[in-house]
Amino acid sequence: MNFRTESTPKRLLLVEDDPRISDFVSRGLRAEGYSVEVVATGREGLLLAQDGGFNLIILDIGLPDINGQQIVERLRSERKVMPILMLTARDALNDKLLGLRAGADDYMTKPFSFDELLARIEALLRRTDMDYQVDTTELRAYDLVLDRESHDVRRAGQLIDLTPKEFNLLEFILQSKGKVLSRTRILEHVWGYSNDPLTNVVDVYIRQLRKKVDDGHRVKLIKTVRGFGYKLDESDELFPEGFSHDDAT
């Protein structure tokens, strides 16, 4: 056997309000093996970037709500260190300067070729690779450990056998620990499409994952948030309903 061992895909966040551009860029990057999350507003982009877990952010400077430059300033003031590549309109020299001054690492002027964008992204990722390996290898919640390098998942030390999709789903909810994720967001992120109201694929996979991860354990990590979606949470419900902390002591 002589195939290359695939490492965990790098996670990229693309904040771009022009669907033609976000479509073309995200398709290309996914074909290159990247995991890409796409949002079209500055507000969503900022929230996701603040959550962390991205290896790089591609940020359009002209967004309908918060502009890209303000987002960079905010992230840098919060000491977020992931590389940021800005997309600017043609000839908007001022934008570039403002973006770079605000703390972006590089910029590209629209229209750009996909190959050039890819080359810039790869260069930025190489520069920061070392910093990121340390904190992205293991994800933990309570006694659950997911290793992004080896793809081993353990609960209370016991190895859990997951399918690739189950692994991706668990990785996604685990890296968003404590946050409610809508079915749409899970669908977009894990399955790569956003609108398929006819299937309940997310619910089906969550049920499977629960069987493997939570069944037989007192602490249930995968929670349903009625009317919203799911979250993985270790912080509360350490005791079953009707069972107080006092009873346990």
Q: Dig out the tokens for 114 from the structure.
A: 């996909």
Place of tokens 């056998």: 161
Window of 11-19, 96-104, 106-114, 139-147 that interacts with Ca ion by CB under 5 A: 11-19
- Which range touches Ca ion (CB under 5 A), out of 58-66, 183-191, 211-219, 224-232? 58-66
Residue nearest to Ca ion (CB): 62
* Choice between 60 and 234, CB closer to Ca ion: 60
Nearest residue (CB) to Ca ion, 28 versus 62? 62
Part in contact with Ca ion (CB under 5 A); list of ranges 10-18, 39-47, 129-137, 159-167: 10-18
Stretch that binds Ca ion, among 62-70, 143-151, 171-179, 234-242 (CB under 5 A): 62-70
Q: How many CA atoms lie within 13 A of 48 on its CB side?
A: 25
* Identity of the residue, 111 or 227, whose beta carbon is nearer to Ca ion in the bound complex: 111
Output phi, psi for 176, to 5 deg: -105, 25
Residues in region 118-137 near Ca ion by CB under 5 A: none
Q: For Ca ion, which is the closer residue by CB, 36 or 222? A: 36
In whole angstroms, the minimum distance from the beta carbon of 89 to Ca ion comes to 7
Q: Per CB under 5 A, does 44 bind Ca ion?
A: no
Query: Please, which residues have CB within 8 angstroms of residue 80's CB and are 6 or more apart in sequence?
Result: 49, 50, 52
- Is there binding between residue 60 and Ca ion (CB under 5 A)? yes
CB 86 within 8 A of CB 155: no
Q: Does position 17 bind Ca ion by CB under 5 A?
A: yes
**Residue from 62, 66, 74, 239 binding Ca ion (CB under 5 A):** 62
Q: Supply the angle between the helices 68-77 and 42-51 in degrees, to the nearest 10.
A: 20
Torsion of CA 209, 214, 219, 224, to 10 degrees: 40
The two tokens of residue 53 are: 């877990």
Largest alpha-carbon pair distance within the chain?
Answer: 68
Q: Burial level of 13, CB count in 10 A (0-12/13-18/19+)?
A: buried
Total chain residues near Ca ion (CB under 5 A) = 3
Binding interface with Ca ion (CB under 5 A): 17, 60, 62
